[in-house]
Amino acid sequence: MKLSVVFALIASCGRSPAETVHLYFDADTPQVAFAAGDIKAALEKRKHTVENRSLAALAEGDTGKKIVLAVAAGSKVLSLLAAQGGKAVSALGPQAYALRTTTRPGVTYWVLGGDAAGAMYGGLQMAENIDFNGLRGSFDLEEAPYLSHRGMKLNLPLELIAIAQRTTGETSRRVERGEPGATLLEPLRRHGGAIILNGANA
């Protein structure tokens, strides 16, 4: 009996109480609100209490642990970041984001996007960080897409890919010679493959 009480006390001492985290974002921007939902879910999974707050309510003297999720351009967050000793954010392009951490007056995690999509990607990265490591550590990074235009991925059966690789060389030569009906999609058509382009079968 006494031993179980001792173990219970040791276990309770090892647990840190869940903190309340203030999550500031603009709920009227769908991409930002989507990422904020993921951040909130990750925090709650870690037993934090989350209070959603309007980005307009963010002020320099706010204390307590908080996450600020915002589009950098045209908002007051950059001046608040600087006032709290945060490293300046370079010009962020479309879909790019920056993560920063400041510690005064309280710990603040800043997720700043070059546009709404960038803020969303940054928010999703922050949610993933919380999932894996909890809300701790310090961030000072900027990320941007390698390609500004995203493509599509074709999920083809492995055997069709192998067939296409074997026959594409000859097909390419036929296309170069300008033979009628020759197309680089021919190997897949010949072997029953279908490719979807812009919503229609090619």
pLDDT tens-digit readout, 4-24: 444 444 444 444 457 899 999
Is the per-residue pLDDT at 169 higher than 50? Answer: yes
Pair 131, 168 in one domain: no
Residue at a domain's end among 118, 143, 168: 143
Pair 119, 168 in one domain: no
Looking at residues 21-48, what average pLDDT do you find? Answer: 95
First to last CA, the chain: 73
Is the per-residue pLDDT at 58 higher than 50? Answer: yes
CATH at 57:
3.30.379.10
Q: How confident is the model at residue 40 (pLDDT cuts 50, 70, 90)?
A: very high
Is the per-residue pLDDT at 159 higher than 70? Answer: no
Contact 52, 58 (CB under 8 A): no
Let me know if residue 2 belongs to a domain: no
Is the per-residue pLDDT at 152 higher than 60? Answer: yes
Tokens coding 102: 């400041």
pLDDT tens, position by position, 81-107: 888 888 888 889 999 999 999 988 889
Query: Average pLDDT, whole number, for the chain?
Result: 78
- How many residues are recorded in the chain? 202
Structural domain span for residue 184: 158-201
Pair 54, 81 in one domain: yes
Is the per-residue pLDDT at 1 higher than 60? Answer: no
Let me know if residue 179 belongs to a domain: yes
Give CA–CA dist 59/80, Å, rounded.
8
